[in-house]
Amino acid sequence: MRNICLSILLTLAFMVNAENPFFKPFDNERQTPPFAEIKTEHFEPAILRGVELANKDIESIVTNPDAPTFENTIVALDNAGEDLNRVLNVFYPLTSALCDDEMMEVINRVQPVLSNYSTSVILNEGLWNRVKTVYENRASLKLTPEQQTLLENTYNDFALSGATLTGDDRDTFRQLNDSIGKLTNRFGQNVLKELKTYEIWLTADDLDGLPKSAVEAASLAASQKGREGEYLFTLDQPVYTQFMKYSTRRDLREKMYRLYMGRNREGEYNNKEIIKQIADLRRQRANLLGSQTYAQQSLKRTMAQTPENVMGLLNQLAEAYRPAADAELTELNKFATEIEGTEFQVAPWDYSFYSTKLKNAKYSYDEEEMRPYFQLDNVIDGVFGLATRLYGLQFTENKNIPVYHPDVKAFDVNDADGSYIGVIFTDFFPRDTKRAGAWMTEFRGQHVKDGEDVRPHVTIVMNFTKPTADEPSLLTPYEVETFLHEFGHALHGLLSQCNYQSLAGTNVYRDFVELPSQFNENYLTEKEFLDGFARHYKTGEPIPQELIDKLVASSQYGAAYACLRQLMFGLIDMKWHSITEPVEGDSEQFENEAYASVALFTPIPGTMTSTTFSHIFSGGYAAGYYSYKWAEVLDADAFAKFKEDGIFNQETAKSFRQNILERGGTENPALLYRRFRGADPSINALLKRDGINPINAKQINKDM
């Protein structure tokens, strides 16, 4: 009956949406999504149709009368659901970059359908039996390393996702997946919806210390609301960050901090109970699959392998960085006392303010002083130019490619020999329908189909300060670093040279995926890189050597504090996903206990991280946030090789491209890294880069 109803619904949807752009090939110049034709109403019927066609693909594999082989089972499964993937590859990116209330309603309706489809594939006994047969005969198949990886991944996807379950356990698994999907979606929507509700209205008397760019942006935001002469501040990340760094009004900094860190704790968009439910449902699912905790289950498909290895790294880093972080805070308290003329203890809402002042005092460094040299257009040239110098890539804006918003631009990417690499979309500015933060995703991943190399369409999304009537978009060094980071992910997707889409580009272990992005960040403090594009937006003068020296000298400032902050996130994540029974107490207290070993401030009642921790409660980083630090060990070690050989050394860059960027997840990342570096990674390079006492290096050096 259910299938009959679905078929009727699909028929009606097709009749109503005869012009649905997802029901025909994308026939523009680069086969990119025809955004001008796509409407929100098109997604749901296209997804339903895609699910029906994907189910037919699965059925054809299961009912194939031929004996299971690598091609007719494993490869066929990797290619299944092409129509569904095509619409989801547009749908999911837009749910983060262009999501209004109508889009959220579509998400709510299709999420159960998609969750049920995914679960039905994993729990399809006929499909599992064919996969298992191929896997058990793998020794006789003479597969390439990439084919072996695809087979192993496919087998493990089933084995670790409930394929071995029988009877009532299968029904329970379906129910758990469905509940987790609904709650993670609700969590993410709550974060986005509540963020939109915050409007902090100030007058001219409240603006002391704020940079001109922040004041102008707030004035413009207020005028757009019809309130001339006032200033509107929100909790969007660029706005909040600037305010906390530069506002001299401690009372307003505290207000902003408590609002920002108190989000989604109560009211209509409360996530406090949702996070406990998500964590426990994940625990139950892990138990069903034979693991004591979700972390144990999840880490089986990572470089780290076990929670013990993760906690080992986090604790070793905490031991190495804690003394330096304590010293940093002691120095900051002393500095603040000198400024205030009385004994002063820095609170969480004071840290950015006094830290910025101390950094400027020590190094005469103020990142606002550097904004004029980082005009966005020039930074685009510089960041794209990094890929030109390292890998020979060329970027040309293509205005014939449709975009999903007027702020978005599309660029053709070609190799040094002129051959086509792919398309990159850039989306730089905040808007009401866009979530905070920065990310990279794909509208189409690279793979080989019928002997043809299908090239990727990637996008990088950020939230930089928009241009005003008087000034273009001017970036801070941190924002340039963010750009470099996301562009590293984009290169991982663009340069992919793989056969199977599930192994291509950024489809790698999550504690390896940040290597290309974090590797790129190293160039921010390299004079040879900055000299190529950092010019004053008014005079055209190159960035003075003095400012570059200040940037380089200050790059280690606060490194220990920053490390402990990242460790805090990792420890919170691991505690939520290491529970062996439901969390009965207050989630705020649970969180405070998780990061007590790295806390530099006494927790502020009414504030917490977990209720807005989208990475782990609505993203893909559950029991995986540690991977940023894990990858940081890799990126520091990798860049040390470039420092040894020359930061633009062509042979070193070629090796990094061929062994890391092009290979995706085709082999174990430890092997790929070893081919590039010639050795296993060492934590020593990270300690050296951060200026941590080298005596500690021997204590925490770890064979990864």
- The catalytic site residues sit at 486
Q: What are phi and psi of 442, to 5 degrees?
A: -130, 140
Residue 465 and residue 473 in contact, taking contact as beta carbons nearer than 8 Å: yes
A 10 A CB-CB count for 332 gives 23
Which residue, 520, 478, 218, 262, is CA-closest to 365? 478
The DSSP element (H or E) to which 118 belongs, if any, is helix 101-122
Tell me how far CA of residue 603 lies from CA of 275, 279, 333, 347, 353, in angstroms: 19, 22, 18, 10, 19
Alpha helices in 137-167 (DSSP H): 145-159
Tell me how far CA of residue 687 lies from CA of 406, 556, 632, in angstroms: 43, 10, 11
Which residue, 274, 263, 118, 96, is CA-closest to 182? 274
d(CA 656, CA 638): 9
d(CA 664, CA 516): 11
Q: Which residue has the tokens 């770890």?
A: 702
d(CA 127, CA 139): 20
Buried (b) or exposed (e) across 459-489, using 16+ Cβ within 10 A?
A: bbbbbbbbebeebebbbbbebbbbbbbbbbb
Residue 294 and residue 577 in contact, taking contact as beta carbons nearer than 8 Å: yes
Tell me how far CA of residue 11 lies from CA of 38, 76, 105, in angstroms: 20, 27, 21
A 10 A CB-CB count for 16 gives 11
Q: Which residue has the tokens 């633009």?
A: 648
Residue 443, helix vs strand vs coil: strand
In the chain, what are the helix, strand and coil shares in percent, each to the nearest 5? 60, 5, 35
Which residue, 124, 95, 125, is CA-closest to 109? 95
The DSSP element (H or E) to which 495 belongs, if any, is none
A 10 A CB-CB count for 22 gives 23
Q: Which residue has the tokens 């950092």?
A: 534
Residue 319, helix vs strand vs coil: helix
Query: Longest C-alpha distance within the chain, in Å?
Result: 85
d(CA 654, CA 651): 5
Eight-class DSSP state of 382: H
